[in-house]
Chain A
Amino acid sequence: MKLNRRNFILSLAGGLIGINFTPLPWKLMDDISIWTQNWPWVPVPERGRFHYEKTVCTLCPGGCGIKVRKVDGISGNRAVKIEGRTDYPVNPLGICPVGMGSLQLLYDESLRFTGPMKRGGMRGSGEFVNISWKEGISLLAKKINELRAKGKPESIVAIDGNRKGSTCSLLIERLIKAIGSPNYVRISNMEDTYEIACKLMAGKSSPVSFDLENSDYILSFGCALIDGWGSPGRIINAWSMWHDYNSKEKPKIVQIEPKASDTASKAAEWVAIRPGTEAAFALGIAHVIVKQGLYNKRFVENCCFGFKDWVGSDGQIHTGFKNILLKRYSPDRVSSITGVPKEKIISLAKEFAKAKRPVAIFGKDKGELPGSIFEYMAIMALNALVGSINRIGGLLIQDGLPLKDLDDPVLDSISRRGLRKDRLDDAGTEKAPFTHSIAEAISEKAEEIELLMIFSSNPLYTLPNTKALRKAFGKIPFIVTFSPFLDDSAMMADLALPDHVYLEKIDEVIWPTGLQYPLYGLSKPVISPIYNTKHTGDVVIQIAKKIGGSVAKSFPWSSFEDVVKYRVRGLYEAGGSVKYNADKPVWEMIRKREKPEKGYSSFSDMWKKIKENGLWFDVPDYNKCSFSTPSGKFEFFSHVLFYHKNKLKAMGVTARNDEAFMPHYESQELKVSGYELKMIPYGMINLSSGWMPSPPFVYKTIFDNQLLKEDSFVDINPKLAKSLKLKQADRVILSSPAGNIKVRVNITETVPPDCVYIPMGFGHTGYDEFIRGKGANPNEIILGRRDPVSGHKVWWSTPVKIVKL
């Protein structure tokens, strides 16, 4: 046969048809699919025996007990799953989604510094080069010594996100003090506002806690109870008991909040209030309680000061809280401020006062940000009126954990001179006399900072008005991060001395937020550090030793664990228990006034058990009526504020006369013409909005009307959408006087028509592809007044406008 074009095509076609009758193509296709399916990027997990290790979660101040499932493989052991502990008093049922997924924070290499590093490229480029620990520590010690030699130790600033009272925070504060800088700045949250409110009304700076499990009526002023408020493991467990259909004992939960949030929807009653008017609402309720004579006369008359009019030591007649309430907070006026019908105010007040063990709780949203002092004071006063202060089922003001204090550091002449200088953030000065730290204020004083050290925090993400802060960071010559993560702030660092991630290290739980009894938790290294990282506690000690002189003398310990052990001795001296019986919840023991079994014989036995089980707790005796105020009573009229009466006007308190020293309502809203909407940030339990990154797993729980590809959504009411001619998922620019962010709109009836609700936790510039560049961070454009008493930025309402793209 001649090979011409026709025959060639024929034979080709014939061949193609023919080959289909042989098994060859099928066999090949099968082989190829099997081959490709075995390409090595589908990993085969190594097998091994399982075992569990108990520890505590230190990702947030909630302090849940966790157990880690490990696999013992040939190539060493690895953690494969985190589960909740049923033998830990905080969280009998489970843990939160962030804790559940956090093995990814441990094992995702591109989230982490793998060792000490120096900046390689431009600031913010994220390029780092490896150095040794010795080099890193000497570099920092040299910088510190240079600044001390120049007589400028106060230009060294530390921003610390560790929990107040934790050993790590004490060591950092000690280092800064020993160096001679007054500028140890803590990241503040609602507990710092609790402390100030307590200081003003009860005379001691202690965080308040709430005996919710024993309460029968809970009035929640915007607390996102089921969205991560307080200790989430504890609150959601309590929530579960309260929502058991068959249980006879249920408290009534009333949520006072502008948004139909998860808590508002699931509470027995939701009171939709205008944003920022919680104080007025609390005082309106107080008015009704006082007017109808429903207040707890025994407590108010014996344990409170300033209720009735009185004559001061100087002969001046003061108006009492009672008359101020009656004159200024009638249901009519409160109704016009808050937008709540006055019948509702009256009926709620009656219910609240007539309940057996009512409690009013406060701290907006998740409580990760500071609140307003007068609002907190108003709600504390409401608790006092019904006698719910230091009572079972009420609000508790207790001393902190009985951990041993460290003695004062050794100071040389340079340090003493430096410590006499004013703080850069004005905390503790005349402008904010009761506040410990105002981290957001350092952006105004960046020129005076020569060296910034960042510990366990991500200020460039979590502080309001990050744009100004980013600019300020650019002016600081040297920034050191101790974060294990490549977070937004660490990207700006010149030197990274990375800490371990939580499962790799010994760390403390210092009294979980809002828990009604003292609890100390200790986490243990569940797996050995997988990278060349070092415990920041140890690194701080090593830096001090390297600096030498009086600074080295202030740090006589050889390791972090030594310091922890020294402090735990204080717990031993105070008593308490290390043995928890899961059948006997601690809140039940409180109600029955039972004491727990000690569970240890000596200090070394106790230390061993705390290290093994991670738990120490105590059941304190409440019903104490003693306060450390000048009057010795709970003060409606705060003497401490009265002593500062000349400064209050300059601080920005608008109320005059006696009302200024008492809980009262003053609007904190910033009004800017052209920006008629209010932007209100909200937290979510399934997204970390603080220092810790969110484990990528949680993005499975985020809806596509919260995040779509690179855009996050803001919630707006259909009425607002209609007036702005916006459709679902439209792209818009949200702008405040501080700047613009790009978002999409989610149209929902859950929010009021004049507000724009924006989630916190999106919009990172650091970390890896799972987290970076997803959505917008409300902190970029937050702009607000400062709270007149605390000096903190008012974060919960920013004037904004929406422009369609």
Chain B
Amino acid sequence: MKHEHNKPLHRYGMVIDLDKCTGCGTCVVACASENNVSVRPDESDKKRFISWMQLYMITNGKEYPYTEVCYIPRPCMHCEEDGHGNPHPPCVSVCVATATRVDINTGIVSQIPTRCIGCRYCQAACPYHARYFNWWDAYFPKGKGLERYLSPEVSVRMRGVVEKCTFCHHRYMRAKRKAEAEGRRELKEEEYITACTEACPAGAITFGDLNNPKHKVSQLIKSDRAFRLLERLNTKPKVYYLSSKEWVRRMADNYLPEELKPVKPLALRR
């Protein structure tokens, strides 16, 4: 069942160029420091840690010396559908506490920790492992002084709630307030970008409105190199990736051998 009239005004989305990405992890750190994600003494427990933007490393599986590695930074995909044609992502339909919604104006999938009751249905429903559960209170022990770098724009989460990437929604609000103060209704392309987009030293992340044909993102997603993770689940993620390497694109989903169209390699375009 399609809800054409419910189509959001803007559809904010992200394009990550894996040909440019060097896997440095600045996006991960920028995200954690922008969104007050706390660091625990043991961050190596990847089942319990929190990293809204998570970095994955993949290899082509070939023997030495034909091996190659590639990194995939993975934020929340901000899916548009649940895979069955319904206009909400898999996590939203299962939330019993209305703690996560799709914003009709932006397409951003929100997460309101204070509403969350910690049932973790959404975590189970998310195909991308983009949701994290707070097994403990945020780690800011008394007397350590770490709370001094906390940003007032994002509240610190307590134990027992789920959290995830919000496309730096507070930055959207900040940009919106500024635009309203200046009497503008529309945001400029560079006015609202996420912390990871801004931080990437390789300029691999592009952020913008997929509905606006003038925005760079809506041009980039038309590229031959564009793909999404687990595309055939049909959840319509708004995060796209670009890669000219076939083995990288093949790793994003279970493709049939002849299914992927070849892309001209980067190195040959000299």
Chain A: residues with CB nearer than 8 A to chain B?
A: 33, 37, 39, 41-48, 69, 71, 78-84, 91, 93-97, 100-101, 103-104, 106-110, 226-227, 232-233, 236-237, 239-240, 243-245, 248, 250, 252, 260-262, 265-266, 268-270, 272, 530, 685-686, 695-704, 707-709, 717, 748-753, 769-770
Interface string of B192-224 (1 = CB under 8 A from A): 000100111111100000000000000000010
- Asked whether, in the complex, the Cβ of A44 is within 8 Å of the Cβ of B156, the reply is yes
Chain B: residues with CB nearer than 8 A to chain A?
A: 17, 19-20, 22-26, 28-30, 32-34, 36-37, 39, 41-46, 49, 51, 55, 57, 59, 61-65, 67-71, 137-138, 140-152, 155-158, 160, 195, 198-204, 223, 225, 242, 244, 266-267, 269-270
- Asked whether, in the complex, the Cβ of A43 is within 8 Å of the Cβ of B147, the reply is yes
Instruction: Check A100/B22 contact, CB under 8 A, given A48-B152, A750-B64.
Output: no
Question: Smallest CB–CB gap between B208 and chain A, Å?
Answer: 17
- Asked whether, in the complex, the Cβ of A749 is within 8 Å of the Cβ of B140, the reply is no
Contacts of A233 in B (CB 8 A): 201
Question: Smallest CB–CB gap between B263 and chain A, Å?
Answer: 9
Please report the C-alpha to C-alpha distance between residue A444 and residue B36 in the assembled complex, in whole angstroms. 47
- Asked whether, in the complex, the Cβ of A108 is within 8 Å of the Cβ of B144, the reply is yes
Contacts of A748 in B (CB 8 A): 59, 67
A697 CB contact (under 8 Å) in B19, B29, B59, B61: B29
> What 8 A-B pairs have minimum CB-CB distances, sorted nearest first?
A701-B25, A272-B65, A94-B201, A45-B150, A226-B22, A43-B147, A699-B43, A268-B267
Please report the C-alpha to C-alpha distance between residue A692 and residue B189 in the assembled complex, in whole angstroms. 37
Instruction: Check A703/B57 contact, CB under 8 A, given A45-B156, A83-B198, A237-B202.
Output: yes
Considering the complex, give the chain B residue whose CB is closest to the CB of A696: B39
Contacts of A33 in B (CB 8 A): 160
- Asked whether, in the complex, the Cβ of A43 is within 8 Å of the Cβ of B156, the reply is yes
Question: Smallest CB–CB gap between A271 and chain B, Å?
Answer: 9
Contacts of A268 in B (CB 8 A): 266-267
- Asked whether, in the complex, the Cβ of A697 is within 8 Å of the Cβ of B146, the reply is no
- Asked whether, in the complex, the Cβ of A704 is within 8 Å of the Cβ of B151, the reply is no
Contacts of B223 in A (CB 8 A): 245
- Asked whether, in the complex, the Cβ of B199 is within 8 Å of the Cβ of A94, the reply is yes
Please report the C-alpha to C-alpha distance between residue A71 and residue B36 in the assembled complex, in whole angstroms. 14
- A-B pairs with beta carbons under 8 Å apart, 18 shown: A33-B160, A41-B142, A48-B152, A80-B151, A81-B149, A93-B201, A104-B146, A108-B146, A226-B24, A227-B22, A239-B202, A265-B69, A265-B70, A699-B43, A700-B51, A701-B28, A701-B51, A702-B43
B65 CB contact (under 8 Å) in A248, A260, A262: A260
Contacts of A45 in B (CB 8 A): 36, 147, 150-152, 155-156
Please report the C-alpha to C-alpha distance between residue A237 and residue B22 in the assembled complex, in whole angstroms. 11
Contacts of B62 in A (CB 8 A): 749
Please report the C-alpha to C-alpha distance between residue A83 and residue B138 in the assembled complex, in whole angstroms. 23
- Asked whether, in the complex, the Cβ of B64 is within 8 Å of the Cβ of A700, the reply is no
Instruction: Check A104/B26 contact, CB under 8 A, given A96-B201, A245-B242.
Output: no
- Asked whether, in the complex, the Cβ of B33 is within 8 Å of the Cβ of A100, the reply is yes
Contacts of B44 in A (CB 8 A): 699, 702, 704, 707-709
Instruction: Check A236/B201 contact, CB under 8 A, given A48-B152, A243-B19, A244-B20.
Output: yes
- Asked whether, in the complex, the Cβ of A243 is within 8 Å of the Cβ of B266, the reply is yes
Question: Smallest CB–CB gap between A54 and chain B, Å?
Answer: 15
Question: Smallest CB–CB gap between B221 and chain A, Å?
Answer: 14
- Asked whether, in the complex, the Cβ of A750 is within 8 Å of the Cβ of B145, the reply is no
Considering the complex, give the chain B residue whose CB is closest to the CB of A69: B151
Question: Smallest CB–CB gap between B168 and chain A, Å?
Answer: 11
Contacts of B37 in A (CB 8 A): 700
Considering the complex, give the chain A residue whose CB is closest to the CB of B28: A701
- Asked whether, in the complex, the Cβ of A717 is within 8 Å of the Cβ of B269, the reply is no
Instruction: Check A262/B144 contact, CB under 8 A, given A245-B242, A698-B29.
Output: no
- Asked whether, in the complex, the Cβ of B63 is within 8 Å of the Cβ of A749, the reply is yes
Please report the C-alpha to C-alpha distance between residue A265 and residue B149 in the assembled complex, in whole angstroms. 36
Question: Smallest CB–CB gap between A748 and chain B, Å?
Answer: 7
Contacts of B267 in A (CB 8 A): 250, 252, 268-269
Please report the C-alpha to C-alpha distance between residue A709 and residue B55 in the assembled complex, in whole angstroms. 19
- Asked whether, in the complex, the Cβ of A237 is within 8 Å of the Cβ of B138, the reply is no
- Asked whether, in the complex, the Cβ of A245 is within 8 Å of the Cβ of B201, the reply is no
Contacts of B24 in A (CB 8 A): 96-97, 226-227, 232, 236, 685-686
A232 CB contact (under 8 Å) in B34, B147, B160, B201: B201
Question: Smallest CB–CB gap between B209 and chain A, Å?
Answer: 21
- Asked whether, in the complex, the Cβ of A109 is within 8 Å of the Cβ of B64, the reply is no
Considering the complex, give the chain A residue whose CB is closest to the CB of B52: A700
- Asked whether, in the complex, the Cβ of B151 is within 8 Å of the Cβ of A81, the reply is yes
17 A-B pairs besides A42-B140, A107-B146, A252-B270 with CB distance below 8 A are: A41-B142, A45-B36, A80-B149, A80-B150, A80-B152, A83-B198, A104-B39, A108-B144, A109-B143, A240-B20, A245-B266, A248-B269, A260-B59, A265-B68, A697-B33, A709-B45, A748-B59
Instruction: Check A701/B137 contact, CB under 8 A, given A83-B199, A93-B203, A94-B201.
Output: no
- Asked whether, in the complex, the Cβ of A770 is within 8 Å of the Cβ of B41, the reply is yes
Question: Smallest CB–CB gap between A791 and chain B, Å?
Answer: 34
Contacts of B198 in A (CB 8 A): 83-84, 94
Considering the complex, give the chain B residue whose CB is closest to the CB of A719: B64
Please report the C-alpha to C-alpha distance between residue A756 and residue B7 in the assembled complex, in whole angstroms. 55
Question: Smallest CB–CB gap between B174 and chain A, Å?
Answer: 9
